[in-house]
Structure 1
Amino acid sequence: MVDAKQVRFIIGVIGNVISFGLFAAPAKTFWRIFKKKSVEEFSYVPYVATIMNCMLWVFYGLPVVHKDSILVSTINGVGLVIEIFYVALYLAYCGHKKNARRNILGFLILEVVAVAIIVLVTLFAIKNDFAKQTFVGVICDIFNIAMYASPSLAIFKVVRTKSTEYMPFLLSLVCFVNAAIWTSYSLIFKIDIYVLASNGIGTLLALSQLIVYFMYYKSTPKDKTVKPSEVEISGTDRV
């Protein structure tokens, strides 16, 4: 008979697969950047922010912080490698954007320093396991909720223009499925309040995006050329 721990593991594996799809989603954008040798008007912010998100969740999922959450670390480790590749490609072709390269490198240095401080504080200043999980988990949730919320910015444009042109349906759908899977994962065997909190909120945010999409889908002009979304996420955690 399959026990709760095995079910949790299976759901976690499914979550890893779906999350990988989210991390891979911007590949089309970066193939375009590579072919045109230019980042055009695409923003680097989602990818730089996701690097921070992935680093934090990799640390959270390690046994030194939270036992039985290694699947959280594995997918975010993969995501971290993918996001670093995206940012490296962006750096290679952002020459026409003034200060972009300097800003990106500055943000990356700040992120590495911030994560290093969090790791050192967790390992050497906090002795209690629950306190470690709380400290790292709350920080992870802040960044994860921000990642899930970023596509919701498009809702205001959709309502104003009565057009879903700038709200990619597939992205919202995959975000919803991803958040729902990780919410389920957090509730089985051992409740993980921090994975539950950010992904539960993420589920509601993605659902609101889908509701707005279907409310305004029919009013969207069908003769317009679809433009790149003004709001991208590149990993919304993926846990």
Structure 2
Amino acid sequence: MTVGQGMAMVAKPWPIGGKGFPTFYRIIKSKSVGEFKVDPYLATVLNCTFWVIYGLPFVRPDSILVVTINGVGLVLELIYVCIFFFYAPNKGRKKVIYWLGGEIIFIAAVSLVILLVFHDHKRRILAFGIICDVFNIIMYSSPLTIMKKVITTKSVKYMPFYLSLANFLNGCVWTAYALIKFDIFILVSNGLGALSGAVQLILYGCYFRSTPRDEVIEPKASQIQLSVSDGPDGV
């Protein structure tokens, strides 16, 4: 995973779908995906889907906010994936098909097992909550690579301030929601997310002055959303 990819994945259950618009507008305009990567969006589809299932009445009743927000995010992510699929070369299209197919099988299998084995809300909440937290924590921890880079280079060039702020506010809002609803699973992952965002902001404050003036710029939306491939896992 590249630095750009890590920063691209704002954690769930807050939807990040709207943030992909500039990137895919550029793809549509150029009629090519270039070297952009679809990985963050495929990962977010998986995460959104599990949070939607978690908030459904047969798992956790009275969680309409979790369902609606992640439902909107899921729809937007799927639209972006479809746009990527339309403009991608054959290799990129095969990757999307394989990953989406694998995700559908994985989600269906896990959900079926949990629903058949556990017949009460308490144990279903526990099972789905753990799964959602795992994916949420992975997404919240993804900026660790960029934070390490900031410390080693003493530069915030690769850590956009507004994205770090969004991560922090996202974690705080969902932590507050979890405290009101007393939802331990939303609380744990988003509490860690708020802490991660706070650390990013502190690092930004510490290393902003040591960053060369010509480097203190906000990366283009395309650079934040989908990093240019620089590894063997590129499309």
Class of the TM-score when normalised by the shorter of the 2 chains = 0.7 to 0.9
Task: Give the counterpart letter for 1:162 in structure 2.
Answer: K
Q: Is 2:94 aligned against 1:102?
A: yes
Show the 5 A alignment for 1:59-74.
59-74=53-68
In structure 1, distance between residues paired with 2:50 and 2:135: 9
Residue 172 of structure 1, CA deviation: 1.1
Residue 33 of structure 1, CA deviation: 1.7
In structure 2, distance between residues paired with 1:162 and 1:44: 30
Gaps of 5+ in 2: 1-12, 227-235
Residue 133 of structure 1, CA deviation: 0.5
RMSD: 2.1
Deviations 1:11-46 (A, max 9, x none): xxxxxxx935x3211211111222222223322111
TM-score by length of 2: 0.83
Which residue of the partner structure matches residue 147 of structure 1?
139
Show the 5 A alignment for 1:32-111.
32-95=26-89, 99-111=91-103
Show the 5 A alignment for 1:205-220.
205-220=196-211
Task: Give the counterpart letter for 1:195 in structure 2.
Answer: I
Larger mean CA deviation between 33-42 and 107-116 belongs to 33-42
- Asked if the contact 1:158–1:216 (Cα under 8 Å) also holds between the matched residues in 2, the reply is yes
Gaps of 5+ in 1: 1-17, 234-239
2:117 counterpart (111, 117, 125): 125
In structure 1, distance between residues paired with 2:130 and 2:60: 13
2:14 counterpart (19, 26, 29): 19
Which residue of the partner structure matches residue 12 of structure 1?
none
Residues 161 and 231 (structure 1), Cα distance of their counterparts in 2 relative to 1, 3 Å cut = farther
In structure 1, distance between residues paired with 2:209 and 2:36: 28
Task: Give the counterpart letter for 1:19 in structure 2.
Answer: W
- Asked if the contact 2:156–2:207 (Cα under 8 Å) also holds between the matched residues in 1, the reply is yes
Task: Give the counterpart letter for 2:130 in structure 1.
Answer: V
Equivalent residue of 1:86, what SS? helix
- Asked if the contact 2:160–2:219 (Cα under 8 Å) also holds between the matched residues in 1, the reply is no
In structure 2, distance between residues paired with 1:231 and 1:45: 13
Task: Give the counterpart letter for 2:194 in structure 1.
Answer: T
2:191 counterpart (200, 203, 217): 200
Deviations 1:72-107 (A, max 9, x none): 011000000000011111122222xx7322122111
TM-score by length of 1: 0.81
- Asked if the contact 1:152–1:209 (Cα under 8 Å) also holds between the matched residues in 2, the reply is no
Larger mean CA deviation between 58-67 and 122-131 belongs to 122-131
Q: Is 2:153 aligned against 1:161?
A: yes
- Asked if the contact 1:151–1:231 (Cα under 8 Å) also holds between the matched residues in 2, the reply is no
In structure 1, distance between residues paired with 2:29 and 2:142: 27
In structure 2, distance between residues paired with 1:174 and 1:132: 31
Equivalent residue of 1:163, what SS? coil
Deviations 1:115-154 (A, max 9, x none): 1112212222211321111110000011111122223321
In structure 2, distance between residues paired with 1:36 and 1:156: 34
Which residue of the partner structure matches residue 10 of structure 1?
none
In structure 1, distance between residues paired with 2:45 and 2:155: 31
In structure 2, distance between residues paired with 1:227 and 1:177: 20
- Asked if the contact 2:154–2:210 (Cα under 8 Å) also holds between the matched residues in 1, the reply is yes
Task: Give the counterpart letter for 2:138 in structure 1.
Answer: A
- Asked if the contact 1:166–1:230 (Cα under 8 Å) also holds between the matched residues in 2, the reply is no
Residue 232 of structure 1, CA deviation: 4.3
Equivalent residue of 2:155, what SS? coil
Residues 230 and 145 (structure 1), Cα distance of their counterparts in 2 relative to 1, 3 Å cut = farther
